[in-house]
Amino acid sequence: MDAPETVDTAYGTVDAAVLRNLKGSLPTSDLLKAADSIEARRLWLRSSLLRLHGMARHLIDGAPLTVTAVEPIWQLADEIADELDASTVDLSGVTKLVDRLGRLRPPDH
């Protein structure tokens, strides 16, 4: 008898063959690592963008000085741009990881 095409789980009906494959090849801890990495990067980017905003407001809008500069504004802007570029690469890897779980969609859905 052939193996069933789908299997009912607590999280919905899934493709049985894909589930069997993932059980041997997908370290679920990679999802936690991805979440932690995204959160750390998000916090750094938010903080850095707020500092950059304060610097830009002072230089461009003539607003009062509110940020104590550790580095020149252009250097901070470069660091943020580099981090955003790196984030794009890392998020591509996270997308591939999540897409593997998306393949659990049963054939008839």
Tell me, yes or no, whether 23 lies in a domain.
no
**Number of folded domains that form the chain:** 1
Residue 73 structural domain: 29-102
Residue 109 placed within a domain: no
Work out the pLDDT band at 4, boundaries 50, 70, 90: confident
**Average pLDDT, integer, range 42-49:** 97
Alpha helix (H) ranges present in 3-103?
16-25, 29-56, 73-102
The tens digit of pLDDT for each residue in 57-99 reads: 999 999 999 999 889 999 999 999 999 999 999 999 999 999 9
Question: Does residue 3 fall inside a structural domain?
Answer: no
pTM: predicted TM-score of the whole model, two decimal places: 0.82
Token pair for 54:
């304060």
The residue type found at 9 is T
Question: φ, ψ for residue 92 (rounded to 5)?
Answer: -60, -40
